[in-house]
Amino acid sequence: MRYQRMRTWAWAAPSDPPTHDPRALGFGDHAAALCLRVLRSFPGISASLILATLAGSLASAVTNRVVGLTVDSVIGHQPVSALVFPVLAVVALLLFSWFMEATADGLTDVVAARSTHGLRMELSHRLMARAPRTKTPGEVLNTVDDDTSIVGELKHILNFPVTMAGYLIGTSIVLAPISPLLAVLVPLGGISTALVARATVGPINRANSARRVAESRAVSLATDFAQGVRVLKGMGSTGRSQQRFDEAARTTLEATRANARVMAWCDFARQSVPTVFITVIIGYAGFLLFDGDITPGDMVTVTLLVPLSLQVMGISLGMIAEYWGRATASAARLNALVSDLEEAEHSEPDVDQAFEHSSSVFQPDRAGLEVWALGTESARVKAQELAQRYVVECEAVYPPHVVAVFEGTLADNVEFDAQSRIGLDAAACGDIVQRLGGYGPMGQLPTAPIGESGLNLSGGQRQRIALARVLNMDPNFLILDEPTTGLDAVTLSSVAAAVVQLRKAKRTIVITTSQAWISAADVVFTDEDFLLVSSADTPNT
């Protein structure tokens, strides 16, 4: 089913969105500053959202005044024909209000999604350049996924809270002809409610921050444990890991309870103020009605407008406090991740200086298979530095040594299409395909699940799937770190020969001591070559 979009907001989510630099949002300074930048992002969409919201709320306020005037007409025994215009006016105002609210809702969802996307793209851009120093994969995933979403959802405070502010302003304008004092008391109640809401921001922020830290800790542990479940079982550490997760879950539960208590007390304090003002305003309006200073229709207008404008104003201010508290807590975590990445960047050695005299090792445009046969840790460190330089300067694809196979089917893991069988064949995945059910009549892959993290496969089979995946990417420059440690000698030789043939016109580097890869290589570099690089000597080829 095709998703129906209103023309009034579809322009903000075009099928081909314009290029947007997510880094304009910025990271690294105070969490509140990042949240403010998110609120200011996409100014055209945000301004349209606010205008639609205000228009809808003002129309709702005017609707209630028309209802009050209609009541006076009925009480004054006006002919039925006199009611036609007020009824039509109410219908028109209700339709206009609905139209504006629907537009504002659509713009809110769009701008929140685009803000979240911008944050994720910037973090992904930074993570592709380097790995964090202190964050675990679970912490990184939780920050990139959940925290960016929470900060992006800050855009929602431009909708409902602005609606209630507009309704409050509309109420004051509508009540001004009825009673100037009533028109003053309504915004005074709104300002008083806002001051009390402002006082609750601090406790809400602290409670939200504590809960977010606890939640993140539990989710991160769960992610990391799930990723390394086989290792944990092999080490006999599942009991201790379960204990750590249980402790994190209990801490999360306590933080959630504490946050709920804080929110309940803050809501009570915040709603007490509008309740007092509503009582005073309606009581005063009743006194005016009794004295004949206002009509029954005016009283109906006051009764319809004031409770909604003040009571829901308190709720909307609470929404602002909660969204802001959650967003600043998540923004602090985003900034912490970025700071970790920047520290990793500053701690990296000067690769340019280390390899400035290396004419044979550092040759970005070389084609064919190149093997770095390294046996010492110091040489591997130098090799890793050079590989990272290739990633940054030459856009090399450098998948991590740890194999990642995802739950689902084989097609889910290798993005199967017409060209994908080439990568599968080169990685010698024929037995895996047969085990899962074989190719279909049209060459399609089997749909049998491979299990969570590929648990239905052996280590060597997972390595071959990961290799097939990166071969299907067909990058111009590919670096592999020990890609076939789990393969037997015959299969390994077959894979090495197939990769050489498949990628003979493109550059491929394999970091390995495997004789099969060394025999198939066009050029081989050893420990001596990389260690000589560090002393600014020209290595031997």
Among 292, 321, 346, residue at a domain's last position: 346
Instruction: Check which CATH number belongs to the domain holding 69 and give it.
Output: 1.20.1560.10
CA distance 280 to 301: 16
* 366 and 317 within one domain: no
Average pLDDT estimate for 438-457: 73
- Across the beta sheet with 368-373, the strand order is 477-481, 507-511, 368-373, 523-526
Over residues 333-353, the mean pLDDT reads 67
Same domain, 333 and 383: no
Is residue 513 domain-shared with residue 420, that is, in the same domain?
Answer: yes
Task: Please tell me whether residues 280 and 359 are part of one structural domain.
Answer: no
312 lies in some domain: yes
Give the tokens for residue 336: 């912490």
**What is the number of alpha carbons within 13 Å of residue 247 lying toward its C-beta?**
7
- pLDDT (mean) for 280-308: 89
Same domain? For 311 and 409 the reply is: no
Number of domains composing the chain? 2
Beta bridge partners of 371: 510, 524
**Last-in-domain residue among 346, 367, 382:** 346
Q: What is the separation of C-alpha 46 from the centre of its chain, rounded to a whole number of angstroms? A: 19
**248/221 same-domain check:** yes
pTM: 0.57
Neighbouring C-alpha atoms within 13 Å toward the C-beta of 116: 22
> 299 with 423, same domain?
no
The span from the CA of 190 to the CA of 203, in Å, is 21
Domain extent, residue 291, equals 29-346
Residue 250 is assigned to a structural domain of this protein:
yes
Residue with tokens 């393969």: 487
68 and 89 assigned to the same domain: yes
Q: Identify residue 421 by its one-letter amino acid code.
A: R
Domain assignment present for 415: yes
Would you state the pLDDT for residue 485?
83
482 in Cβ contact with 401 (< 8 Å): yes
Q: Is 325 exposed, middle or buried (0-12, 13-18, 19+ CB in 10 A)?
A: buried
- Tell whether 358 is covered by a domain: yes
> Is 229 within the bounds of a domain?
yes
What is the DSSP code (8-state) at residue 397?
B
Say whether both 122 and 36 belong to one domain.
yes
pLDDT at 25: 60
Confidence of residue 226 (pLDDT cuts 50, 70, 90): low
CATH code of the domain containing 361: 3.40.50.300
10 in a domain, yes or no? no
Instruction: Report yes or no on 49 lying in a domain.
Output: yes
Q: Which of 11-20, 105-114, 168-177, 264-273 has the lowest mean pLDDT?
A: 11-20
CA angle 235, 237, 240 (to 5 degrees): 165
Q: Among 291, 316, 346, give the residue marking a domain's end.
A: 346
pLDDT (tens digit per residue) in 498-511: 999 989 889 999 99
Q: Are residues 435 and 305 in the same domain?
A: no
pLDDT band at 56 (very low <50, low <70, confident <90, very high): confident
Same domain? 380 vs 330 = no
**pLDDT tens per residue across span 138-180:** 677 777 888 888 888 888 888 878 888 888 888 888 899 999 9
| DSSP reduced 3-state for 278 | helix
Q: Residue 224 has what pLDDT? A: 57
pLDDT digit string, tens, across residues 350-369 = 444 444 444 455 565 678 89
Residue 21 covered by a domain: no
Per-residue pLDDT band at 404 (split at 50, 70, 90): low
Contact between residue 123 and residue 341 where contact means Cβ atoms under 8 Å apart: no
What is the average pLDDT across 46-53?
Answer: 89
Collapse the DSSP code of 445 into the 3-class scheme (helix H, G, I; strand E, B; otherwise coil) and give the result.
coil
Mean pLDDT score of the chain? 78
Tens of pLDDT, residue by residue over 374-384, are 888 888 888 88
